[in-house]
Chain A
Amino acid sequence: MAGDTGEATLAGPAGPQEHGPDASAAVRVRDLTVSFPTPDGPLPAVAGVSLDLARGQITGLVGESGSGKSTLALTLLGAVPAPGHVASGSVIIDDVGDVLAMRRPELRQVRGAKIGYVFQASQNSLNPLKPVGKQVLDVGRSHGVRDVRKLLHSARLLIDEMGLDAERVLASYQHELSGGMRQRVGIVLALVLNAHVLILDEPTTALDTLTQASVLDIVRKVHAERRLTTLVISHDMGVVGDLADRMAVMYAGRIVEEGPTAEVLASPKHPYTRGLLTAMPRITGDVAEARPLQGRVPDLASVPRQGCVFRPRCPLADDICASLEPPDTVLGDRRFACHVTAGEAA
């Protein structure tokens, strides 16, 4: 594990205590810090993050732009976007080891075969010059799969499960498919080699309501049938709230709250989580009670270097919040990092 190199040290939160049947977690992230060079020195996009993806469960990660969630997701694949680099921490995948300690050849084997990553449909991550079928073959070839027919057969089955016409999809180019179909193809490509960990980055962004619902249904179905460990990343708390068994809320590179979805949503402990829930346009609830969050979404340079990162926008901010970064408070199966609410009754 690389050590810090002259960065501002942060009194980061402690890793999650061994709460719950944690040893069975399929993916364990410990104290992960990913830094980017800036004119003001290296700054962390992900700061001391510890997270478990429980085996067989869907974990959701909620965060806005600038929260570091995409950096975190890519780091799980060992694909830290340049010019960032991992300053410290580990990402241990169950039967594979620490992804961050691996070299390129090992990593290439892990990606696709053990971990499937699905990009946003709108990011056009499919090759525009090749039909989908060829891309499936590419995936197989890069992993040394020899039984091509079996691979295509698995792909066909997967596509059928998604409710699409397999032959037509395999023959199509990316521009011939709608947004929802592209998203589904992304999921097929991620799972065609029978990975057991699936990461979905903003799977429903830029999709229509009906399409969104069908993609969520498919994720649920595929997750259950293949007994996957799934991570869903979204800025939309509704998506995470519907899909995930456990959820984590990320702000300015840190996980500020984590726990079973129903509990976190029903009684949020961190002021940011509470603020997000109140600021979210929803179909239920009193319109007059909605309150926008104060302040601006922070970027790398404007995150406070000392004390709680949420303090500039927090309605509960106290003196201690300015000087000391809050440690994790553990409450049964949950944890959250706030000085003020730690003192509240559970």
Chain B
Amino acid sequence: MIEGRAITRTFAARRGMLGHRGVRALRGVDFTIPDRGAVSFIGESGCGKTTLGRILCGLESFDGGDLIIGDQAMAGLKPRQRAPYHRRIQMIHQDPYSALNPTRTIGQVLAAPLALRARQTGAGRGWLERRRSELLGLVGLDPDYVLPRYPHMLSGGMRQRVVIARALTVDPDVLVADEAVSMIDVSLRLGILQLLRGLRDAVGVSLLFITHDIATARYVGQGGQLYVIYRGSVVEQGDTDTVIQHPAHPYTQCLLSAIPVMRGIELPGPERVVPTGPLDERSEPQGCLFEPRCPFAEQDCGAAPPVLSQLGGTQQSHACLHPARRSVVAVPAPTGAA
């Protein structure tokens, strides 16, 4: 189990920008990733979700709070000591092409970490080839086809599967998928999403799914928790389906309202919500971070930052002082409405 407690991260200001205090990417985020569980982080670019994923994998450090992997807190350890823990969390990048070395065949790509593993576990001859083929089968690829090829000879979907197979070579506890399907053709996305979901059962791995596309989170995060992140804080958190069907926080409602509605098969949610203005990254409001753009902001919203609660009797936790139910998600059109 992975736990994050009040994780904070600020990126230093670039030199020469007078008065610019630096970007507060994460402002005290709490989260839990249970064993074999699924967690989704939803938010727009710049909200800190990618930074959080990278902190989990050990690619970024954090300034405040703590990260607990297994039962070990990371804050007290030196970077070199943390490495074996972070190795249990593997990243699946957005761009499957840059995630694979273009000068190496798939066979070589998978052999390297497996060889390391073989040395560590003292595995016998032939184990490497067997395990390699096994992992490729697990991700739905034909070893004979894929092993001698270079990455540019494979489609985006296949490359992403190779990346997943590579991540599995070290038997991780968690897979972090950061926009893992955004650069893949639409007809192939579902395959990858179902693969990721299937791995939870097949291999016992947990999933952290980071995306701006909430619809994809539905397919991976079933029975799991969904966190909506805005400007480095969690504004809503709860069971995936609950948050999507009954969003409480206006930002979540805006995100869901923005999803395109397909004519003929869907009707728009009647109470769709739009932010009142664009995001201003420099502003540091005293109260709720979303207040400057919130169409429902009230007087007290600007006073102090709201904390997560279940105000209004909601099942999920949210950070809004005046939550209200709004039907924002598209509904299926009655059949025969063509």
Contact = CB atoms under 8 A, between A and B. Distances in A.
A276 B186 contact: yes
Given A237-B186, A264-B264, A267-B338, A284 B332 contact: yes
Contacts of B35: none
A262 B266 contact: no
A292 B190 contact: yes
Contact of B338 (A213, A266, A277, A293): A266
Nearest to B255: A209
A223 B259 CA distance: 20
Contacts of B275: 210
Interface stretch (B71-79, B107-115, B216-224, B309-317): B216-224
Interface in B178-214: 182, 185-191, 193-194, 212-214
Contact of A284 (B188, B189, B263, B266): B266
A86 interface: no
Contacts of A292: 187-188, 190-191, 194
Nearest to B329: A283
Interface in B1-60: 44-45
Given A210-B275, A262-B338, A279 B259 contact: no
Query: What does DSSP make chain A's interface, helix, strand, loop or mixed?
Result: helix
A312 interface: no
Interface residues of B, number: 49
A326 B158 CA distance: 30
A213 B212 contact: no
B263 A209 contact: no
Given A276-B187, A284-B329, A297-B188, A238 B260 contact: yes
Interface string B207-244: 00000111110110010000000000000000000001
A279 B190 contact: yes
Interface stretch (A103-111, A239-247, A316-324): A239-247
A146 interface: no
Interface string B157-170: 11000000000000
A235 B190 contact: no
Interface string A266-288: 11000000011101111111010
Given A209-B44, A283-B329, A238 B259 contact: yes
A290 interface: yes
Given A208-B45, A210-B44, A64 B185 contact: yes
A261 B265 CA distance: 10
A290 B186 contact: no
Contacts of B213: 209, 281
Interface size class of A (residues with CB under 8 A): 35 or more
Contacts of B335: 266
B101 interface: no
B254 to A, nearest CB: 6
A216 interface: yes
B174 interface: no
B123 interface: no
A65 interface: yes
A206 B158 CA distance: 21
Contacts of A265: 262-265
Given A64-B187, A242-B263, A279-B186, A209 B155 contact: no
Interface in B230-289: 244, 254-266, 274-275, 278
Interface in A200-219: 206, 208-213, 216
A297 B264 contact: no
Contacts of A237: 186, 262
Nearest to A297: B185
A64 B182 CA distance: 13
A296 interface: yes
A263 interface: yes
Contacts of A275: 187
Interface string B306-338: 000000000000000000000001111101011
B187 A279 contact: yes
B337 A266 contact: yes
Given A261-B263, A292-B194, A283 B185 contact: no
Given A209-B212, A210-B275, A266 B265 contact: yes
Closest A-B pairs by Cβ, 3 of them: A241-B262, A262-B264, A242-B260
18 contacts: A64-B186, A65-B156, A206-B182, A208-B212, A209-B214, A213-B258, A238-B259, A241-B260, A264-B264, A276-B186, A277-B265, A280-B190, A282-B215, A283-B256, A284-B329, A287-B219, A290-B190, A290-B219
Interface of B: 44-45, 155-158, 182, 185-191, 193-194, 212-216, 218-219, 222, 244, 254-266, 274-275, 278, 329-333, 335, 337-338
Given A241-B260, A241-B265, A291-B190, 6 more contacts: A64-B186, A65-B156, A206-B182, A209-B259, A279-B189, A292-B190
